[in-house]
Amino acid sequence: AQTAKLVRPGNTVVIIGAAGKSGVLCAYEARKRAGIMGKIIGITSSDSGLAKMKEQGFCHESFKLSATDALSCYETIHKVTGGKMADVIINCVNIPNTEMASILMCRDGGIVYFFTMATSFTKAALGAEGVGKDVDMIIGNGYTKDHAEITLNLLRESKQLRDIYEKLYA
């Protein structure tokens, strides 16, 4: 539901953990919101996650990268975006030390949404200051107005998305 609020038409969006349960929903919604002029980039740390992202097709580009390796993430997104970086970063991985990758992949004036309880906000704040990045950082709390209805509507409108979740939870 936060993705629906954050992503605008034409945005470039990076989703860290795009192969995971939350990441898949974010990728689908981001692609819908960014529209035909937008670009959705998925990051996962595993070969199986990379295969899932490519099979699902919600991301325009998919990469196997460790979000704990900030420099590799930065270099990849810098190359893919021609140096423009991403407008929105959505961090869905529940592992520590991914703050700097999130910040470095974002353009100045962009948004980093930390939807993970592993985030150290001290590292995020001091890291952004240390590298001179002017980004808006949002703490995910799991609640957004109408989030349940938005999610159910996504599952209703996309058979592919519904099938993914039925396979996971049926």
pLDDT by residue (tens digit) across 73-100?
A: 999 999 999 999 999 999 999 999 999 9
With respect to residue 159, please indicate whether it lies within any of the assigned structural domains: no
Our count of domains for the chain comes to 1
* Residue 53 within any structural domain of the chain: yes
Is 60 buried (19+), middle (13-18) or exposed (0-12) by CB count in 10 A?
A: middle
Range of the domain at 28: 2-143
Residue 151 within any structural domain of the chain: no
**Out of 37-46, 74-83, 157-166, which region has the weakest mean confidence (pLDDT)?**
157-166
Q: Say if CB 125 and CB 118 are below 8 A apart.
A: no
Above 90 in pLDDT, residue 116?
no
Q: What is the pLDDT of residues 135-148, one digit of tens each?
A: 999 998 777 888 88
Is the residue at 18 inside a domain? yes
Across the range 26-38, mean pLDDT stands at 97
3-state secondary structure of 59: coil
- Examine residue 123 and state whether it is found in any structural domain, yes or no: yes
As a whole number of angstroms, the distance between CA 75 and CA 64 comes to 13
CATH code for the domain of 46: 3.40.50.720
Q: What is the pLDDT of residue 42?
A: 99
Query: In this predicted model, what pLDDT tens digit does every residue of 119-137 receive, in sequence order?
Result: 999 999 999 999 999 999 9
Say if residues 107 and 14 touch (Cβ distance below 8 Å): no
**Residue 67, in any domain of the structure:** yes
What is the structure's pLDDT at 143? Answer: 77
Predicted pLDDT at 117? 87
Please report whether residue 26 resides in a domain: yes
Q: Are 89 and 106 in contact (CB under 8 A)?
A: yes
